[in-house]
Amino acid sequence: MHWLAWYFPRLPLACFAVAPEQPFAVSRSEGGRDRIDRCNEAARTLGVRAGMALAEALALAPSLAVRPRDRRREGRLLEALGGWAWRYSSHVTFDPLLVLLEVEGSLRLFGGFDRLVARMERELPEAGRPASWAAAPTPAAAALLARVAPGTRVEHREALAQRLDAVPLHRFTRNRRWLELMRGIGLATIGDCLALPRPELARRLGHEPGLLLDRLLGRLPDPRPLWQPPEQFRQRLLLSCEIDRVEALRFPARRLV
């Protein structure tokens, strides 16, 4: 199997119709504090950065508009992007901020891998831009590489362990308990975990991390529910302010898939 993953890092921002010149960010709650999750270029020029405390960001940029991340709206937009991916393969599934499609059966139809990716990039809806991609024999590896090593293509399962060896563990999992335990025994990368005898890894962390690694490397199956396009399609876009001119709708309308 050959999985192609597309990662949409700005999807949480694309859920809201905001003019490019308006400093804008989405926030998340972390440890009882609100923090900046992502921000647009206008906000970055004012010094706002992801991970910054919301109060600090507002003190730095009083004109900053902020909305909490809307996971439900992100899911709807991701599903709309699934419709774009379904043009190229009927095997489409999702991870957070990612669309994955199995393309082995599509390569001949679209003239090979490079032509397929180039066509998908050309036809990618505005709501998904910018995006990064990666390809691998397993969906988990393709998804991880799309985040940490965009543009990577691993064709053979046997090459996955070497390609993923140096990936930091915090990019592999967000489970804080696991990360603390791993750090405590000197594990920093996926390669460190793979070098540890499996019984020892299970004794210290339980069996689940080892199972995730086996799915990542294709040693265990990783069945995914396949998405089917709805019979009817509807999409909405929340405007950040009242609009009374048709011209003002041109930019936000481009985000509709």
Q: Could you tell me the two tokens for 166?
A: 């140096």
Other CB atoms within a 10 A radius of the CB of residue 158 amount to 11
Q: Could you tell me the two tokens for 20?
A: 């490019």
Query: So what's the pLDDT on residue 241?
Result: 64
Which alpha helices (H) appear in 61-130, and where do they start and end? 71-85, 113-123
In a domain, 255, yes or no: no
Taking alpha carbons only, the member of 74, 110, 114 closest to residue 94 is 74
pLDDT digits (tens, 9 = 90+) for 21-73: 999 999 999 888 999 999 999 999 999 999 999 999 999 999 999 999 999 99
> What are the backbone angles phi and psi of residue 224, rounded to the nearest 5°?
-125, 140
Amino acid letter, residue 47:
G
Q: Tell me how many helices (H) and strands (E) the chain has.
A: 13, 9
Q: Could you tell me the two tokens for 16?
A: 């809201």
> What are the backbone angles phi and psi of residue 42, rounded to the nearest 5°?
-60, -35
Domain count, the chain: 1
In a domain, 217, yes or no: yes
Contacts (Cβ under 8 Å, ≥6 apart) of 196: 187
Amino acid letter, residue 49:
R
Instruction: Give the confidence band of 229 by pLDDT, cuts at 50, 70, 90.
Output: confident
Contacts (Cβ under 8 Å, ≥6 apart) of 87: 123
The C-alpha angle 132, 101, 152, rounded to 5 degrees, equals 40
In a domain, 50, yes or no: no
In a domain, 146, yes or no: no
In a domain, 93, yes or no: no
Q: What gap in Å lies between CA 80 and CA 75, rounded to an integer?
A: 9
In a domain, 251, yes or no: no
pLDDT digits (tens, 9 = 90+) for 72-121: 999 999 999 999 999 999 999 999 999 999 999 999 999 999 999 999 99
Contacts (Cβ under 8 Å, ≥6 apart) of 43: 23, 24, 25, 57, 61, 64
pLDDT digits (tens, 9 = 90+) for 110-159: 999 999 999 999 999 999 999 999 999 999 999 999 999 999 999 999 99
Please give the residue range of the domain that contains residue 167. Answer: 156-225
The answer, as to whether pTM is greater than 0.85, is: yes
